[in-house]
Amino acid sequence: MKYFGTVESFDETKGLGFIKPESTGAHIGFERSAIGWDSKASPEVGKRLSYEISEAKGENNAINLQHA
């Protein structure tokens, strides 16, 4: 299932970021490896993305990030 949200933050050094989902208030984390375009091009804060959710160790993470 695809979800949509906007990039809330992205740490270049750690390669970690957060998305603010359109459907819920809680943010969801993602790793650089989840980016579906050129992984050297970091996601811009405020950019709308589509993503899927994967659960690992009791936490939800965004995967398969794409420009929306």
The pLDDT value given to residue 39: 64
Per residue in 22-48, pLDDT (tens digit) is 987 789 999 999 988 876 778 899 999
Is pLDDT of 52 > 70? yes
In whole angstroms, give the CA distance from residue 7 to residue 23.
Answer: 14
DSSP label of 35: B
CA dihedral 38, 39, 41, 43 (to 10 degrees): 110
Annotation: CATH topology of 3-61: OB fold (Dihydrolipoamide Acetyltransferase, E2P) (2.40.50)
Model confidence, pTM:
0.87
Residue 3 contacts residue 23 (beta carbons within 8 Å): yes
Domain boundaries, the chain: 3-61
Q: Could you tell me the CA-to-CA distances from 43 to 3, 38, 58 in Å, in that order?
A: 16, 10, 25
